[in-house]
Amino acid sequence: MFKILVSDPMAEAGLAILRRGAATDLRVGLPADELRRVLPDYDALIVRSETKVTAEILAAGARLRVVTRAGVGTDNIDVAAATERGVLVLNTPGPNTIAAAEHALALTLALLRHIPRADASLRAGRWERKAFVGRELHRKTLGILGLGRIGREVAIRARAFGAELLVYDPFVPPAAAEAVGARALPLDDVLARADIVTLHLPLLPETRGLLGARELARMKPGAYLVNCARGGIVDEDALADALHGGQLAGAALDVFAQEPLTASPLFDLPNTVLTPHLAASSEEAQLGVGIVAAESTLAALRGELVENAVNLPGLAPGALAALHPWLDLAGQLGQLLAATLDGPARELEIGFQGDSAAINSALVGAAALRGFLAAAVGEQVTLITARVVAERRGLAVGERFVRGGRDAAPPAPGLRVAAAAPAGAADGHEHTVAGALDEAGRGRIVAIDGFPVALDAGGRLLLVAHRDQPGRIGAVGTLLGQRGINIAAMQVGRSRVRGDAVMIVTLDDPLPRPVLEEMRAITGLSHAHYVDLGAPPPNGAASEPRDEE
Ligand code: NAD
Ligand code: MLT
């Protein structure tokens, strides 16, 4: 049974799901050394933002397969170190989007209308109406930095308040801004024009300190700043100075560079509204996050591919079912190609033909690479580690997209995987395999080394390169028959009559190594290779033992 450690608070509904599928321990607030001490027992770790999953913590997780962030931001997890170790990192985007968007607007309104201070004043026995005259969101310009899930929901709601919307997000097309009634502008323009700037982007090396003294000085005098995204994006000392000096009228923050925050120059300023990282803390959001975190962690441990994986190429929601046959086929083509090489490869090229958008080239490419590496180097490789392992082994991996010419009809979707051997190697040729899905969605091998074939992708395959001459096919068949190996099907591809040819024999029985050696001794055969594609690599990235290199 799997063992899961939950080291930050989690909704009871999520814990109940986990307990049905795994031995689950909830241990909140573990110091880092205690976490390191207990982690070797666990297959998965589930955290919110409090637990810092550093490279040292990950190194202690001898059997750790999955780290799940019950929430969006993974900046408290060393994702690169997890990837290097083959640990799948999941998050749960979606269930807390509305909570975060509503909190950003709640802070905005609280700030504009002085609600916390008015409340405190009234409780202190005062009735001060003049001191707390506020401002409206209506007809103000709201600058949204980061137009992702939360930024969009903020935009939709702010529109209902009658705000004008500006957006800065270099990674979304201007049409995405227009779709929510906003105008996309460069950062400095948004800062210069907005009455209120609200942040909804991730903390990354590029966004750390994005709003420092220079950018705060660029903001419209008397503007407001709201940060419900991540501490560290705003320089808090520079913000305190801008508020103190009157450049900004106010700021509302839910997130801080240091959490928990116990002291800050912002505490002494009247024009701030501060909450302790509460944006996602609605009952609804935590229920949703807990359920998604629990279900996806268990699915990943069972070896299923999940959509909310952070260190796997992104998957659109619902795209998985259509992708599975491509992943299987890519893995089989990779395996098949590796089996046809007589030495190590220097380069691998994964070619996508036709509408590769439907294929998810990054993930399917990783599956082809995994199949290729797993067979060729006998090392445990996962979809997560495939590119890292290839790089470590000096294998250059390229991708090529063929969409068809301007006048030609686009080719049917397909995959071509080609490997080139190092210059000067005995087998210095390029070898290729190509495949596609049939109408029923089954994987088919359609070419080997440029020879057209029509084979189901799977089963035990004997591949023989030979000269097209009488007697060759018979010699192979006779040897197999003498050794009690049953032939299920056979196909022959040739360049021309009596030219180079390949023979692909599908076998019912495994081909022992000594029989393969006997086959190689048959005159007129240049190569004979055997591969068992019957058990394609499973799609689940986390189901396999990790690369312990
Ligand atoms: P998302 O990934 O859907 O959206 C992030 C957007 O930021 C994307 O559109 C991306 O293109 C954009 N972006 C990335 N780098 C950028 C840059 N340099 N400049 C401008 N835009 C950039 O994420 P989301 O779910 O909308 O979450 C947004 C942020 O809110 C994240 O930091 C997340 O961790 C945080 N969050 C905080 C809380 C909380 O409790 N305070 C709750 C949920 C999410
Ligand atoms: C998130 O990124 O989802 C938030 O930080 C919410 C949380 O605290 O989990």
Give all domains of the chain, ordered by start, each with its CATH number: 3-94+284-301 (3.40.50.720), 97-274 (3.40.50.720), 321-532 (3.30.1330.90)
Protein residue closest via CA to atom 9 of ligand 1: 148
Q: What is the pTM of this model?
A: 0.76
pLDDT value at residue 407: 52
Q: Is 67 helix (H, G, I), strand (E, B) or coil?
A: strand
Nearest-5° Cα angle at 254, 253 to 257: 85
Catalytic residue among 50, 56, 259, 347: 259
pLDDT value at residue 543: 35
pLDDT value at residue 523: 83
> What band does 103 get if pLDDT is binned at 50, 70 and 90?
very high
The string of pLDDT tens digits covering residues 116-136 is 999 999 999 999 999 999 999
The string of pLDDT tens digits covering residues 276-322 is 999 999 999 999 999 999 999 999 998 787 878 888 876 666 677 78
Which atom of ligand 2 is the closest one to the Cα of 279?
A: 6
Judged by its nearest atom, the ligand closest to the C-alpha of residue 98 is 1
Task: Out of 53, 77, 96, give the residue to mutate to test ligand 2, the one with the largest number of ligand atoms within 8 Å of its CB.
Answer: 96
Q: Examine the residue annotation and report whether 136 is marked as an active-site residue of this protein.
A: no
Sign of CA dihedral 48, 54, 60, 62: positive
Confidence check: pLDDT of 527 > 90: no
Contact 532, 456 (CB under 8 A): no
Quick check: CB of 445 below 6 Å from ligand 1? no
Strands 443-448 and 430-437: what pairing?
antiparallel
For all residues of the chain together, what is the average pLDDT?
A: 89
Please give the C-alpha separations between residue 331 and each of 65, 411, 536, in angstroms, as whole numbers. Answer: 21, 22, 7
> What band does 22 get if pLDDT is binned at 50, 70 and 90?
very high
Confidence check: pLDDT of 48 > 50: yes
Confidence check: pLDDT of 217 > 70: yes
Quick check: CB of 200 below 6 Å from ligand 2? no
> What band does 380 get if pLDDT is binned at 50, 70 and 90?
low
Catalytic residue among 69, 103, 277, 529: 277
pLDDT value at residue 318: 67
Protein residue closest via CA to atom 30 of ligand 1: 229
Confidence check: pLDDT of 408 > 80: no
Inter-axis angle of helices 283-301 and 12-21, to 10 degrees? Answer: 20
pLDDT value at residue 144: 98
Q: Examine the residue annotation and report whether 429 is marked as an active-site residue of this protein.
A: no
Quick check: CB of 200 below 6 Å from ligand 1? yes
pLDDT value at residue 413: 76
pLDDT value at residue 516: 92
CA of 379 to the centre of ligand 2 (A): 37
Quick check: CB of 172 below 6 Å from ligand 1? yes
> What band does 405 get if pLDDT is binned at 50, 70 and 90?
low
Q: Which two tokens stand for residue 417?
A: 């995987």
pLDDT value at residue 303: 79
